Chain A
Amino acid sequence: MPFVLSVSPDFTPKHIAGWYVFNTWLQRQTELAFHVELYNSFIKQREAIAADEIDLIYANPYDAAMLVREKGFVALAAPLNKADEAVIVCNNNYPIDAIENLQTDLSIVTTDDPDVHLMGMMMLEPADLNADNTNIQEKDSYVLVAKQLLQQKADIGFFLKEAYYDLSALIRDELRVLIASEIFVIRHILLAGPKLQQHHQQLESLLVNMQDNPKGADVLKTMGLRGWETQTQEDTEFMIDLMDTL
């Protein structure tokens, strides 16, 4: 039975192929069999995690607590210089230009991306807005979030910063960023499950040296990453604590 590698469903579509290339590279380097399993929603992926069907996962920080504290996963590495940041965006014609001026009954369009949603809601707090006094609609992708804003079917939208700037300039010309997070420490991490325990050290070593190897560097490019850096257990615990406060 191959080990199962999965990726947080919020990965950017243009890098899907990169994860398959990474999987091939990983198998060659480790001589272990890995199989890529992608899920189109966080709910589906969490069901697979609960059923112990995943062994290696590029996880959203929101899910890190459950993976580490309930399922015995251990962080192997984190992407180099790649923090998760959120932006709150509105249509160019929307009459508000500061978060503090937003009013109750605001219509928010978001995705099921849990850390972006948390950061987005947190940035609305200065306007005393929360889940109880706003109307939240969830869409399957950031493109659909943008569509709702373009058609003025929502007041504001939450985006992963990277996903927003991946939208075409044509679309972004019609939209406006109201606020952007600058948190720096919330990021995805690559975690290995208990079945891979005896290979943790080997995997960690391969990952942190990946950018120094020409072939590894090419693979990283297809994944949209610059490299990996060591993520200690305490780094992970710290991030989990931080997520608990949001």
Chain B
Amino acid sequence: METIDFQLITYLERNIDMKLHYYDGTDRVINIIDQEEPFPDGRLIVSRTDTMGILTHCNQSFIDMSGYTEEELIGKNHYILRHPDMPAAAFKGLWSTVKEGGKWDGYVKNLRKDGSYYWVHAVVIPNVRNGNIVGYTSVRRKPSRKKINQCISLYAEMLAEEG
């Protein structure tokens, strides 16, 4: 199975139009806004992708929090949510874990369509059918502020190391 590298190549400046480059050669420009959207109480954000990270299912909470419509999401790569403050190493760990059949959990800052963000505690598992991985399910829940604050520092250090 191919390894997917979710690294963003270009990271320009905050709070202005940023050009984000993805592993598959595509890019897009988005205005990053330093504004947090609170995670809704009692909800779960659920999505499924195929083995290449292409969205095949998302629930209403996913749609509401992402700011996209369902039509805009299904068929798109999951990296559409990737915030430039997230270090590549975090996602590398995610993909290597789930591709080996394991469960990954971590704290993720996600990018909304309007450029703002929301934090989640994400758990990702492979969907195993007849012994084969046919996709992945990701379930996100509300994280604690303490964990978010720890991750803000950690991810900043990791990003600095990644240059």
Asked whether, in the complex, the Cβ of B139 is within 8 Å of the Cβ of A246, the reply is yes
Known: A183-B43, A184-B59. A245 touches B144 (CB 8 A): no
Complex interface: chain B residues within 8 A of A99 (CB) = 41
**Which residues on A sit within 8 Å (CB–CB) of B142?**
123, 125-126
A128 engages B42 (CB within 8 Å): no
- In this complex, the member of B41, B60, B138, B143 whose beta carbon has the largest number of chain A beta carbons within 10 angstroms is B41
| Neighbouring B residues of A122 by C-beta, 8 Å | 141
Also in contact, A245 and B42, with CB within 8 A (given A184-B59, A185-B59) = no
A100 within 8 A of B: yes
Contact status B121-A245, CB under 8 Å? no
Contact B144 A127 (CB under 8 A): yes
Q: Render A91-135 as a binary contact track against B, CB cut-off 8 A, 1 for contact.
A: 000000001100000000000000000000011011110000000
Write out the residue numbers on chain B whose beta carbons fall within 8 Å of the beta carbon of A246: 123, 139
Within 8 Å CB of B145, what residues of A?
A: 100, 126
| Bound complex: CA A122 to CA B42 (Å) | 9
Once the chains bind, are B139 and A125 in contact (CB under 8 Å)? no
Q: How many chain-A residues does the 8 Å CB contact rule pick out?
A: 22
Query: When the two chains form their complex, are residues A245 and B129 in contact, meaning their CB atoms are under 8 A apart?
Result: no
Residue of B nearest to A119 (CB): B42
For A183, list chain B residues within 8 Å (CB). Answer: 42-44
Min Cβ gap A192→B in Å is 20
Contact, CB under 8 Å: A242 / B137: yes
B61 vs chain A, min Cβ distance (A)? 8
* Interchain CB contact (< 8 A) of B46 among A100, A126, A179, A185: A185
10 A–B contact pairs at CB < 8 A?
Answer: A123-B42, A179-B42, A182-B61, A183-B44, A241-B125, A241-B127, A242-B44, A245-B123, A245-B139, A246-B123
Q: Across the A-B interface, give the 7 residue pairs with the lowest CB-CB distance, nearest first.
A: A245-B123, A245-B139, A128-B144, A181-B42, A241-B137, A126-B142, A182-B42
Residues of B within 8 A of A (CB): 40-44, 46, 48, 59-61, 103, 121, 123-125, 127, 129, 137-139, 141-147
Chain A residues with CB under 8 Å of chain B are 99-100, 122-123, 125-128, 179-185, 237-238, 241-242, 244-246
Extra inter-chain contacts (12) besides given A185-B46, A185-B59, CB under 8 Å: A99-B41, A100-B145, A123-B41, A123-B142, A128-B144, A183-B42, A238-B127, A242-B44, A242-B46, A242-B137, A245-B138, A246-B123
